[in-house]
Structure 1
Amino acid sequence: MAQESVTVERAEDWKTLQRLLYRDSWNEDINRYRSSNVFRGHSNRKYTLTTSLQRFVGDSGQWDLELRLLRNFNKYAQQYIDEPESFYHLWSLAQHHGLPTQLLDWTYSPMVATFFATGGARDVDGEILVVDYAAAHQLIPDVYRTVLEQADTEMFDVDLAESGTNQLLQESRESEHNDRIRAGSLDLFELFELYMEMTDNHSEPYVWFFEPPPIDQRIANQSGVLAGWFPIDPRQPMDEWLETHPEFFRRIVIPAERKQEFRDKLDRANINDRTLFPDLDGLAMWLTEYYSPTVKSNS
């Protein structure tokens, strides 16, 4: 039987965009518009879901560099941050500030994703990627699904992620570490190293999503969500795998000729650089775009 292909639709106008973004968002169980979708916007639809760690490591094969980067980030960042509450807290912080990691930024907000999809060059199509995280979480290790079920939720936060990791390690064959895991005597990096060994032995690739801690206002304003990507081949981009799962993945193309219109309408809805990047840099970017001169069409 031929595999079903991923849905790709073009948002030729603003009304169509809204329909595509909010499709299947009605939840009959609670009688509300609530979906389990997360979104990511690309200003060029040719971009792939390659993590910053994948780009950093390249062809060197030195995938252990992430742990070394994180250890040193934690060491030298002490004057700027409190002691991380967990490895996932530190991991989120490092990703937020641009350290190469295997995490990818997503958002709950379809409008925020549209903002990023309408950036960049105005002569290339943008794209919004849509993933149903509740459906994607059906493929994660059983221990993690149990943690979600016990918490009566479909989305991880850093505390649930840490709880799942500890349970996964305790149930693993690393029995010589179990007493230390239960006693909480393993440091953040020993736990993460053991965890990565366990995920390397998982039979299938998977992606899971978690809410980062409220590090600053930017995460809150962008409705940020992080995705952990665990492929069998560490060089594989996430979208190559997502393409094999059309049951929870789809694409929305933003035509190049609609980018400016959509950006202007987002600005009127207060979705712009000034609100998404609430600092002086964001203010400068917003003013630059707002007053950017345009050439009138002859048509």
Structure 2
Amino acid sequence: MGGGTTNDIVATDWLTLQEVLGEHAWNERIGRYRSPYVFRGLSNVDYSLEASITRFVGDTGQWELEGHLLRNFLKYARQEIDIPDSPYYRLAIAQHHGLPTRLLDWTYSPAIATFFATGGRADTDGVIWAVDYVRAHEQLPAFLRESLERLDTDMFDADLLDDVTRQLLDQYTDEMGRSPTAGVLEMFDMRDAIAAFAAEQPDDYVVFFEPPAIDQRIVNQAALFSSQSNPTVAMDTWLEGHPELYRRIVVPAERKAEFRDRLDQLNFNRRTLFPGLDGIADWLTAYYTPNSK
């Protein structure tokens, strides 16, 4: 979605950035500042909201590779970690470690999104996507909306999505002529049940959910994921049909260094967002890099 949109706001200075990112945070129903927005920062304003599996498959049409990637990841990953018998835990772990999946990373924190938007090339504008997940979930099929309403919440987590998916599996088992089974076969049964359910819906939809706290990086980055019913379509293309759900805050190239320094002073940097020795080394390298001017 290059070239800008009518939903774009340019953060010409730090104060403007804070004002824009903090808009609509007041929640009248609970009397607290709880923004309905989730954020994703990209270092290049022309980058698409395209899931990694979409880029991986490309124009080959070989979407069956999605299942093979995950199945074999689980086979080899069990040597390293104990993976719960849960499809959304598995997806979250695979995404977290770089496997191509249909998930996109988001954060509740506008500051963390700004950190990622201010990376990359110093001569390229960055962008922060802000999506109203509460209103996005109003676009969900009734079956999914009702599961949120029963728990009086606006956000899914991995456990709730597991429960909903297993209900779908029960619903579609007879149609697929299969019985629920454990392990890998169940994973593929669930995939087929989700695909059958999505195919019956008149419109594509996006689900946001909180991943399990599988390591400190997910916790520190206030992370969550989105999953699309139709991964063949980039999420920014889907959002074009729902302009009321999002805004894009453009970070001008000439402001990137300033905004990074301000974030560092607020303790948003690679040391805090990427716990461990690698994060410390990256932070120190950036902190002491000589100014070219």
TM-score by length of 1: 0.91
Distance (whole Å) between structure 2 residues aligned to residue 84 and residue 178 of structure 1: 26
Aligned residues: 288
Q: Kindly tell me: are residues 250 and 74 of structure 1, through their superposed partners in 2, closer, same or farther at Cα, counting changes over 3 Å? A: same
Contact 2:49 2:234 in 1 (8 A): yes
Aligned counterparts, 1:46-65, within 5 A: 46-65=46-65
Distance (whole Å) between structure 2 residues aligned to residue 51 and residue 8 of structure 1: 22
Distance (whole Å) between structure 2 residues aligned to residue 138 and residue 91 of structure 1: 24
Moved more, 200-209 or 268-277: 200-209
Contact 1:106 1:224 in 2 (8 A): yes
Amino acid in the other structure paired with 1:78: R
The residue number in structure 2 matching 1:222 is 221
The residue number in structure 2 matching 1:44 is 44
3-state SS in 1 of match to 2:150: helix
The residue number in structure 1 matching 2:261 is 264
Contact 2:122 2:254 in 1 (8 A): yes
Contact 2:169 2:189 in 1 (8 A): no
The residue number in structure 2 matching 1:28 is 28
Contact 1:104 1:226 in 2 (8 A): yes
The residue number in structure 1 matching 2:292 is 295
The alignment-based identity, stated in percent, is 54
Aligned counterparts, 1:1-299, within 5 A: 6-172=6-172, 174-176=173-175, 180-181=179-180, 187-231=186-230, 234-296=231-293
Q: Kindly tell me: are residues 184 and 59 of structure 1, through their superposed partners in 2, closer, same or farther at Cα, counting changes over 3 Å? A: closer
Distance (whole Å) between structure 2 residues aligned to residue 265 and residue 126 of structure 1: 16
Q: Kindly tell me: are residues 199 and 56 of structure 1, through their superposed partners in 2, closer, same or farther at Cα, counting changes over 3 Å? A: same
CA-to-aligned-CA distance 1:25-67 (integer Å, 9 cap, x gap): 0112222111121000010100001111011111110011111
Distance (whole Å) between structure 2 residues aligned to residue 265 and residue 30 of structure 1: 31
- CA displacement at 1:287 relative to structure 2: 0.9
* Cα root mean square deviation, aligned: 1.8
Distance (whole Å) between structure 2 residues aligned to residue 76 and residue 147 of structure 1: 34
CA-to-aligned-CA distance 1:168-196 (integer Å, 9 cap, x gap): 33344x42569944x97962332223222
After the TM superposition, list the runs of 4 or more consecutive aligned residues in structure 1 that deviate by more than 4 angstroms: 176-179, 183-186
Structure 1 unaligned regions, length at least 5:
none
Structure 2 unaligned regions, length at least 5:
none
Distance (whole Å) between structure 2 residues aligned to residue 80 and residue 146 of structure 1: 37
Amino acid in the other structure paired with 1:85: D
Distance (whole Å) between structure 1 residues aligned to residue 255 and residue 114 of structure 2: 11
CA-to-aligned-CA distance 1:229-287 (integer Å, 9 cap, x gap): 123xx432110111221211111000111100000000001100111110111111111
Contact 2:52 2:102 in 1 (8 A): yes
CA-to-aligned-CA distance 1:143-179 (integer Å, 9 cap, x gap): 111111111110000111011112233344x425699
3-state SS in 2 of match to 1:39: strand
